[in-house]
Structure 1
């Protein structure tokens, strides 16, 4: 009963627009007071902030965020869309496919889906509409391509899941590589199909000289991605050390592109501190709420109750995934992970499923929530940046959502698509 009341309190605080981190923290504190009293609750509060935020593995998050800010400030990403457009220019819907590929390229050096969507909206939406693309296709492709940053390493969401679930950060990051690339390929296929149905003009070609220049434009981001991901894959560095190398490499790009001004560096540092502080508060709040759940013993009760059900485990897992899909419509993806994983992960492991695979499925479903109403953060960002009505973006995202769900079904049905790369690391 207490758990239900505290859950309703949490939902009420979120609906009242209390920042998610503080809503989780307050709900957890009230729950602990209700179970153990004021003195025990505040004794826990004295310990949790340091123990929750002092983990070495957490340092990967601000370092990857700093890398993304440095890359953005360097201007290296401005050529991604144009380079991709030149390379796939002869393909029907080539400019839309180029936007998706640019989104994948941005994702490879940034863990922020909203930043990716905003950058793509500024660089590609107007160009697609100018060429004759329907506004639905242009904005739907951009909003959906922005979600790739949630899966392709270095993904902040995957790092956050790994820390919450206590799995290997490096293995969890690399588990997102194949599903992320599969998602990018699926989004490209959706653009191509819509283009064949008349939502995009005929393709135009480019010369071999132009393609060679385009490849050169992709080189800086490509090298940085290989440097970071390759170092983790081959066991040369930990994920945190790779993040530090990536941040240093991104600073090098700023120097090469002559953008290493004090103004750019200061803005990058301020943006990193702001984003990192928000994430750390969510982590502290999640640990407080998790302590409340542990004291209420709701998790073992749920595992025991589900264990008594006479239904196949796959049906239970489908139900869990469906719940995550619904939650994604209404809640921030990081908050969903913080609140639910401590409850669902023991159940998933009790059913015999791999925790890293489960994290990939959760993040894939979270990507759908980024482009669906009513929250649909990427859709809001795309609409604002491209100055196109929000309902147009949501309608344009529908075919891409179908493609995303197909990828979710594939990863759910064939877990090795996500697990074989981490297993190669172990080998």
Structure 2
């Protein structure tokens, strides 16, 4: 009965727009008070903030957020799109395909989905519209390409999952590489199909000489080096994810200096934005820990695992139900909030069914990508609308073909776990 009251309060607070961190903390505190009174509640409230903030792995989050801020400040995303456009822009729909490549490249040195969507919106959409691309196609590919930053390392979503689930963060980040490339290829193939279906959606672009193409590649070198500094050191075992995040933030600062955009005001603004984003995430984690203590004491998760064990259905059917649940939640909630709210409950069920937690984490993040672009709260769609002044209905219409394509990718990753688990198995330790 207490559990039902607390869960109902949590969802009621979320429905009326209460910040996720506050909703988790208040509902969890009420549950603890109802179970053990003031002594139990105060004992947990006095110790939880320190135990939450003192986690060594949490250092990874502000460092990667700062790295993303510096990458945006350096302006390298513009050059990245220009380089991709020079090589494949001549194809019909080539600029849209170049947007997907730029999104993957930006995600590999950023980790922030909204930052990626914002940057791509201000650079690639004007270029596509000038060439006569269908606005729906242009905005849709930008919104979906921005989500690649959630999957390709460094990924804040995968780091949070690793912290919540107590899973090796290095394995998660490396496990996201092949699925990230698969999603990028899927976006490109979807664009190719749409253009083949109706050539009027995108004209062929201008051609570039080989010399021009090679000169454009110069901008890729520092980005590739930054990617190797982060993902390469994690994969080889040279650095932990926490150490690699610090290296990445410093490397991104060097990019800013090389671009001659380094100033006290710009660095200060980047640090402040990073601190604000980090505080928001830490507050959510703190609220989740309070709520998690309540769930642990009520043994709700254990009861759920026991109930699943009595069901005479395939474990794949249970997995499918869980994934559908994530797709539905993604339409209404922020992806970070979904991870923090659901993983402590769902992961024990997944492990009891014999599934790999690293594979499940990547699968959940790919599913969360879809939530970033689905109505009514597809955050990336709103970011694109803000920067382009295009109607939301048009943007969601452009996203729809990519939504169906993403469902196919989710099914492939679910059916073939080696897509995720193979690369981590080859890592240096």
**What TM bracket, shorter-length normalisation?**
over 0.9
How do residues 379-394 of structure 1 correspond to structure 2 at under 5 angstroms?
379-394=381-396
How do residues 288-327 of structure 1 correspond to structure 2 at under 5 angstroms?
288-327=290-329
CA distance in 2, matches of 1:307, 1:288: 28
How do residues 263-412 of structure 1 correspond to structure 2 at under 5 angstroms?
263-412=265-414
CA deviation map 1:193-236 (0-9, x unaligned):
11222211123321111111211122221110112110000000
- Of the three residues 215, 223, 226, the one matched with 2:225 is 223
Query: Following TM superposition, by how much is the alpha carbon of 1:248 offset from its aligned partner in structure 2, in angstroms?
Result: 0.9
TM-score by length of 2: 0.98
CA distance in 2, matches of 1:17, 1:322: 23
CA deviation map 1:274-322 (0-9, x unaligned):
0100010011111111101001110000000110011111111111111
CA deviation map 1:363-390 (0-9, x unaligned):
0110000000011000010011111001
CA distance in 2, matches of 1:8, 1:381: 31
Query: Following TM superposition, by how much is the alpha carbon of 1:401 offset from its aligned partner in structure 2, in angstroms?
Result: 0.7
CA distance in 2, matches of 1:259, 1:302: 54
Is the CA contact (8 Å cut-off) linking 2:68 and 2:111 kept in structure 1?
yes
Say yes or no: does 1:146 pair with 2:149.
Answer: no
Equivalent in the alignment of 2:207 = 205
Say yes or no: does 1:82 pair with 2:82.
Answer: yes
Is the CA contact (8 Å cut-off) linking 2:45 and 2:290 kept in structure 1?
yes
Is the CA contact (8 Å cut-off) linking 2:236 and 2:428 kept in structure 1?
no
Say yes or no: does 1:30 pair with 2:30.
Answer: yes
CA distance in 1, matches of 2:338, 2:242: 24
Say yes or no: does 1:116 pair with 2:110.
Answer: no
CA distance in 2, matches of 1:66, 1:318: 36
Say yes or no: does 1:133 pair with 2:133.
Answer: yes
Task: Give 3-state SS (helix, strand or coil) of 1:372's partner.
Answer: coil
Long gaps (5+) in structure 2: none
TM-score by length of 1: 0.98
CA deviation map 1:243-293 (0-9, x unaligned):
111111111111111111001110110011001000100111111111010
CA deviation map 1:332-388 (0-9, x unaligned):
111111111111111100100000001011101100000000110000100111110
Equivalent in the alignment of 2:11 = 11
How do residues 226-245 of structure 1 correspond to structure 2 at under 5 angstroms?
226-245=228-247
Is the CA contact (8 Å cut-off) linking 2:235 and 2:428 kept in structure 1?
no
Long gaps (5+) in structure 1: none
CA distance in 1, matches of 2:156, 2:222: 21
Is the CA contact (8 Å cut-off) linking 2:172 and 2:358 kept in structure 1?
yes
Equivalent in the alignment of 2:40 = 40
Equivalent in the alignment of 1:417 = 419
Task: Give 3-state SS (helix, strand or coil) of 2:238's partner.
Answer: coil
Query: Following TM superposition, by how much is the alpha carbon of 1:18 offset from its aligned partner in structure 2, in angstroms?
Result: 1.4
CA distance in 2, matches of 1:218, 1:92: 23
Equivalent in the alignment of 2:185 = 185
Is the CA contact (8 Å cut-off) linking 1:76 and 1:220 kept in structure 2?
no
CA distance in 2, matches of 1:135, 1:3: 48
Task: Give 3-state SS (helix, strand or coil) of 1:425's partner.
Answer: coil
Which runs of structure 1 show a deviation greater than 4 angstroms over 4 or more consecutive aligned residues? Answer: none
Is the CA contact (8 Å cut-off) linking 1:194 and 1:200 kept in structure 2?
no
Q: What number of residue pairs does the alignment pair up?
A: 427
Q: After superposing the two structures, state which structure 1 stretch, 296-305 or 75-84, moved more.
A: 75-84
CA distance in 2, matches of 1:336, 1:426: 32
CA deviation map 1:57-116 (0-9, x unaligned):
110110111111111112222211111111112222000011111111110111111111
Q: After superposing the two structures, state which structure 1 stretch, 228-237 or 211-220, moved more.
A: 211-220
Equivalent in the alignment of 1:56 = 56
Q: After superposing the two structures, state which structure 1 stretch, 239-248 or 14-23, moved more.
A: 14-23
Equivalent in the alignment of 1:68 = 68
Is the CA contact (8 Å cut-off) linking 1:61 and 1:159 kept in structure 2?
yes
Task: Give 3-state SS (helix, strand or coil) of 1:330's partner.
Answer: coil
